Homo-oligomer: A and B are copies of this chain.
Amino acid sequence: MATKLTSRESDYSKWYNELVVQADLAQHSDVKGCMVIKPYGFAIWERMKDVLDQMFKDTGHVNAYFPLFIPKSYLSKEAAHVEGFAKECAVVTHYRLKNAEDGSGIVVDPDAKLEEELIVRPTSETIIWNTYKDWIQSYRDLPLLVNQWANVVRWEMRTRLFLRTTEFLWQEGHTAHETSDQAVEEARKMLEVYADFAEGWMAMPVLKGVKSANERFAGAVDTYCIEAMMQDGKALQAGTSHFLGQNFAKAFDVKFATREGGQELVWATSWGVSTRLMGALIMTHSDDAGLVLPPKLAPIEVVLVPIYKGEEQMAEIVGALQGVADQLKAAGFRVKLDDDDSKRSGWKFAEYELKGVPVRLAMGPRDLAGGTIEVARRDTRSKEIVPMDGIQSHVKGLLEEIQTSLFDRAEERRTSTTTSVDTWEEFLAALEAGGFVEAHWDGTSETEDLIKKETKATIRCIPLEGNEETGKCVRTGADSSQRVVFARAY
């Protein structure tokens, strides 16, 4: 436990940074741009990973592992890809160190220079498609539905814990298909998986859409995305799923024998979410007292805290709470009984609030005598006294209610900050107010660039479920066939 957090209102960015560190989620390391994910933060990521992994397996995917290093020349094989990824990356040039001749320490051995430099993977399309070439001969080998959990490195100048770090953890799905339609269907299916995860587990409502050409993944034909809205009115891209067409198959010469006996290039997708989701989770729900976690992803769903004076009371109350804890554990809840005698109960209350534990049960001598227990919920910070009898079903109902309520609250906020505008003045005002801005756009990259330059807003997505309403571009007045969603973004 540390000092009080800066409030969101006074400095949202500072609040976030303090919260991440003080709630023991992550910290900066001495290696520029790289973070340490602390055990409590990692426990949340592990839960996210386990759930997503099961969702991938349920949709027919298997895991594999490909090398960390990519030969420099591979990046150049797909023309658009190299523009997007070959710039800011970690380059391995040598494979040996040696003792300095002047005894001053160790130095790079100039004799151990690699013939071709290796890039620490910023994403794995190239190394994977170079491998798929061996794996795919015939339509019988398709679809190939593979996922990888891995670390990747993109050299970032300005980093923020979880949101933008030089090294981050992620999963990257890479699939191969017989037809364009099947690949598009896969890319859309995985977008739905991401949306289901975001909404059903993270309690974070998302917009589903497709990126404009400017925001597309380097090497993709289409990039689908889910976009979430943070409390400060800025959007956050929470996951992307790419239809890659035949671009990588062409670059790595991956062809298959078709059902008709011909040879055709394979159709591809890739899709990923990363530890950035941790940032989205934190910013969607948390408040000035600290982290707020949806029960489904909380490493601890229920914490039990005894309130007592003296050893005799302590033994009685801890004993009673142990019974409740055992009962809840047996029912499958993730539970912690904090009977550490070296910390005061007030300290513990603040600590578990900071850490976002959804439900706190506290018991004092009066509760023990009366057969009651105090139940506090983290999201609303409300408390009530309930009978010990039936505590299990009460807790169960409460956790479900918190999960739903967090989603509803986030959705309410998103809806209330989403504005539909028709003029440039309205557009600017809506951007200043924060939130998603639905506006007509003439469909050109030039206009998008111009708007970005003038306002720092980007097109977050062209909604998949948008109405085919015609109108005039908010910036140029040219014709538009559909409103798109703008926002300033992380």
Contacts and interface: CB of A to CB of B under 8 A. Distances in A.
A140 interface: yes
Contacts of A119: 97
A47 B14 CA distance: 41
Contacts of A416: none
Nearest to A155: B95
A62 interface: yes
A118 B167 CA distance: 13
A65 B96 contact: no
Interface in A353-385: none
A125 to B, nearest CB: 14
A136 interface: no
B106 A30 contact: no
Interface residues of A, number: 62
Interface string A159-177: 0000000010100000000
9 contacts: A29-B66, A67-B167, A68-B120, A68-B153, A82-B106, A90-B94, A93-B94, A96-B155, A150-B151
Nearest to A343: B140
Interface in A16-72: 27, 29-31, 34-39, 42-43, 45-46, 62-72
B67 A36 contact: yes
B64 A27 contact: no
A63 B43 contact: yes
A70 B155 CA distance: 15
A87 B97 contact: yes
Contact of A63 (B46, B94, B140): B46
A36 B65 contact: yes
A444 interface: no
Interface stretch (A126-134, A215-223, A241-249): A126-134
